[in-house]
Structure 1
Amino acid sequence: MESMIRDIALAPSGKQKISWVKEHMPLLNILNEKYSKNQIFNGLNMVVTIHLEAKTAYLAQVLKNAGANVVVTGSNPLSTQDDVAAALADSGVTVFATHNCTDKEYDMYISKALDVEPDLIIDDGGDLVNMLHGERKNLVAKLIGGSEETTTGVHRLKALSNNGKLAFPMIAVNDAYCKYLFDNRYGTGQSSWDGIMRTTNLSVAGKTVVVAGYGWCGKGVAMRAKGLGANVIVTEIDPIKGIEAVFDGFRVMPMQEAAKYGDFFVTVTGCKDVITKEHFAVMKDGAILSNAGHFDVEINIKHLEELTVEPSYEVRKNIRTFTMSNGRKINLLGEGRLVNLACGDGHPVEVMDLSFAMQFLAMKYLWEHKNELENKLYVLPEELNTEIAALKLQAMGVGIDKLTQEQETYLHQA
């Protein structure tokens, strides 16, 4: 299969990026060294649909080095970095991805990747799985299973599984303790603000930040905003998460009220229409909107366009300004797509080292247990979580205590 990328001449820049992340991903380096020798995935076809930047490119290379025939496509039009795609293609991995592709091209790339007839898949957001349950369901018979990286994709998988429609085993890597505790909280928390600050070059200190959603990602975004000196308001639909946000020191109120105060807005709910025309109507002049959820549906851009009195325009790279009838201006970052990737490089390297080690081990688990798994949604086994955490601590030079035999006996006595 021949790759479809922007320009192979961009490869040197992408190789530099991949080389940098390799130096800071000790878990993937350990897996690469071990499994490149025994070729655990020898002869298997893998399709990886994920945000295509340096860290994910290295994961694809590690899977390839372990013997797999890897085909990669992007999971978001704005998160693909063309130089990284070129470097990956130049390293022998087939790539179908270009930055800012159209929706038609995006679907075509996924379909082209599936032409390899995969044995295993890694998905991020559920678009790959969705196509396998639709127009490419003829490939399901050969498919062993797959894993899902993000909360939105897991929601879609749970719906399929609960309705008895999931056609193959899937592992919700996103729901693994090591994943949501570190990736969702610390990864999203840092990378979202990296993207916002890089794009706007504005101070966060002293501003009011409205965080929509107080799940693990929302906790991270709110915590980092507080650390940057912001006054943080949280909006929620869950009373338990609402009271948790209050006890964490944040103001909690409905979005209709919070919209009046926000300088920055960050949506991170996984749901649609979190910010709509009723909220735009009361926002401050100069309000900045961003989304840290997987799909560009949390901020209703159609409503925003309907309220404008002149065509929106790009006032600065990745900032689109909408002018209201009273002259107020509302600014949207990254077209309402994932701000940490549309406007930045995604999660910190060390965080994704944990997540991608889990993805690798999920592929290994599916392959080794291929005759035992049912067509349902699984969580990564707890012993693999523990193994990854222990390896990460070891790589960081951090030691922890171990229970003595007497302590083990004490804790397990009747």
Structure 2
Amino acid sequence: MNLELGRKKIKWVEKYMKVVNYLRDMYINEKPFNGVKVAMSIHLEAKTAYLATILKQLGADVAITGSNPLTTQPEVAEALKEYGIHVYAEKTLDEDIYWKNMDKVLEFNPNIIIDDGADLGIRLIEKFPEKIENLWGICEETTTGVKRYKALYNDGKLSVPLIAINDSYMKYLFDNRYGTGQSTWDGIIRSTNITVTGKNVVVGGYGWCGRGIAMRAKGLGANVIITEIDPIKANEAIMDGFRVMKMNEACKIGDIFVTATGDIDIITEKQFLNMKDGVILANSGHFDVEVKVADLEKIKVEKKEVRPGVEEYVLPNGKSVFLLGKGRLVNLTNADGHPIEIMDLSFALQLEGAKYIMENYKNMDISIKPIPYDIDKKVASIKLKTIGIEIDTLSEDQKNYLNSWK
């Protein structure tokens, strides 16, 4: 394991996370998290590691694990231990190891959980209900995680307040769209070394992540096709200049497929068998359920790794398809995740969200809400300040005009 590489990665991130650094400098003297136990389940790479170090600097006792079996970077996890953080994370496909690491973090009796995909919070609620009394609240990072927590809430099983970081403006407008757009193509291009220009790229889903993936594919010169189940989003995709069709039709003409829906079975056996030879399959959704790998395994004649992170499946019809990152998040399994400056915004929200829970949990309802809008604006204003941009403000006359009915 290259420990020095892990150290360098964390140090590199520090230079570009200017909003998080600004908040650190604001709070460093008061150390607001003194005595607070923060548990993190997150894709453990340099940017997330750096957030953990900031929480530690602000007084928190931090325990961290990975939120996906294949997205932990071992050299970063090892380097993070040098900061006095409890690290229980491995890059592994062994589900037992993955959950044992989750349990080690929960044995920590956290006051606040910073979650990515909802595994940690749901694990605590289901397996360690006696620890709920120590938990003040949860900050959830992702679309998938918020969806799962909403289902938990609707079943009457959510027992602490939850801040849906994903539903906050400074997260989904930037992280989901620009972050996913760039990092997804980073993972695909690094893995394959092929051109994108001129190819038919099929994007499953036109939410904020799908929008970003499609936008970047268009910028790379691809012919972009969208598949959707929402008529409103389908219309939006058309007006953004993309073709829209069913996956059963798109599968016949696509060269590269990228799923970003948060649902299961987006591409299945029937579609695999109708694909062209040499198709590339990638997933940017949180779990490995969108490209149905079980169907590939069932129908394959042969399977082999042909490049790091690229597996060839030879199908009964003699054609091959290439699966990236075992169908897991291609931007993290086959690359380094979202750009640093994008995650700077999301992690500023996580930092502020954790602080908000710490200061207000006694008066918070058990509910799922985005971060308060004034915090969203605070992060946006700090971002502009760190890049030297000033914007106009309303005069009193303008404010009065906007608030008047006359």
TM-score by length of 1: 0.97
* Matching residue of 1:160: 152
Cα pair 2:139 2:164 within 8 Å, conserved: yes
Give 2:309's match in structure 1, choosing from 303, 318, 325: 318
Of 24, 27, 31, 2:19 maps to 27
Q: Distance in 2 between matches of 1:303 and 1:99?
A: 25
Match of 2:166 among 168, 174, 190: 174
Is the Cα contact below 8 Å between 2:198 and 2:222 reproduced in 1?
A: yes
Structure 1 segment 198-277 matched on structure 2, within 5 A: 198-277=190-269
Q: 2:300 aligns with which of 285, 302, 308?
A: 308
Matched, 1:382 2:353: no
Aligned equivalent of 2:98, options 101, 106, 125: 106
| Contact residue 131 and residue 137 of structure 1 kept, 8 A | no
Matched with 2:51 is 59
Q: What code does the residue aligned with 1:261 have?
A: I
**1:170·1:377 contact (CA, 8 Å) conserved in 2?**
yes
Where 1:168 maps in the other structure, the secondary structure is coil
Q: Deviations over 1:325-366 (max 9, x none)?
A: 221001000000000000000000000000000000000110
1:42-65 C-alpha deviation (Å, 9 max, x unpaired): 001110000000000110000011
Query: 2:352 is paired with a residue of what secondary structure?
Result: helix
Q: SS at 1:233's partner residue?
A: strand
* SS of structure 2 residue aligned to 1:370: helix
Q: 2-side partners of 1:60 and 1:35: how far apart?
A: 15
Deviates more, 1:30-39 or 1:221-230: 30-39
**Which residue of 303, 323, 327 corresponds with 1:332?**
323
User: Would you say how many aligned residue pairs link Structure 1 and Structure 2?
Assistant: 405
SS at match of 2:127: coil
- What residue in structure 2 maps to residue 343 of structure 1? 334
Q: Which runs of 5+ in 1 are unaligned?
A: 1-6
Q: CA deviation at 1:101?
A: 4.5
The residue identity in structure 2 corresponding to 1:335 is: K
Residue 187 of structure 1 aligns with which residue? 179
2:310 partner letter? I
Indicate the SS of the match to 2:189: helix
Per-residue deviation at 1:396?
A: 0.7
Distance of 2:93 and 2:281 partners within structure 1: 23
Secondary structure of 1:122's counterpart equals strand
Residue 262 of structure 1 deviates from its aligned partner by 0.7
CA distance in structure 2 between the aligned counterparts of 1:91 and 1:129, rounded to whole angstroms:
24
State the distance in 1 between where 2:253 and 2:161 align. Answer: 46
Q: 1:144 aligns with which of 131, 136, 142?
A: 136
Q: Name the SS of the counterpart of 2:266 in structure 1.
A: coil
> 2:212 is matched by which residue type in structure 1?
G
CA distance in 2, matches of 1:30, 1:146: 23
Q: Work out the CA distance in 1 between the residues paired with 2:93 and 2:222.
A: 35
Contact 1:121 1:145 in 2 (8 A): yes
- Equivalent residue number for residue 402 of structure 2: 411
Q: In structure 2, what is the equivalent of residue 117 of structure 1? A: 109
Q: How far apart are the structure 2 equivalents of 1:377 and 1:179?
A: 16
TM-aligned CA deviation for residue 164 of structure 1: 2.1
For residues 235 and 67 of structure 1, the distance between their equivalents in structure 2, rounded to whole angstroms, comes to 47
Pairing of 1:40-79 with structure 2 (within 5 A): 40-79=32-71
Q: Which amino acid aligns with 1:306?
A: K
Aligned to 1:3: none
Contact 2:72 2:89 in 1 (8 A): yes
Per the alignment, in what secondary structure is the counterpart of residue 198 of structure 1?
A: helix
Identity, in percent, stands at 52
| Matched-pair contact (CA < 8 Å) for 1:186–1:220 | yes
SS in 1 for 2:108: coil
Q: What CA distance in whole angstroms lies between the structure 2 residues aligned with 1:326 and 1:341?
A: 32
Out of 72, 96, 103, the residue aligned to residue 80 of structure 1 is: 72
- Distance in 2 of aligned mates of 1:90 and 1:76: 23
Shift of 1:98: 1.1
Shift of 1:125: 0.3
Bigger drift between 345-354 and 33-42 goes to: 33-42
C-alpha distance in structure 2 between counterparts of 1:60 and 1:274, whole Å: 35
The one-letter amino acid of 1:342's match is T
Equivalent residue of 2:16, what SS? coil
Is structure 2 residue 88 aligned with structure 1 residue 96? yes
| Unmatched runs of 5 consecutive residues or more in structure 2 | none
3-state SS of paired residue (1:380): coil
Matched AA of 1:319? V
1:314 is paired with a residue of what secondary structure? strand
| Maintained 8 Å contact 2:198/2:221 | yes
Report the TM-score when normalising by structure 2: 0.99
Partner of 1:131: 123
Cα displacement string for residues 84-130 of structure 1 (whole angstroms, at most 9, x for unaligned residues): 10111111111001112411000000000111100001000010011
Q: Deviations over 1:186-222 (max 9, x none)?
A: 0000000000000000000010000000000000000
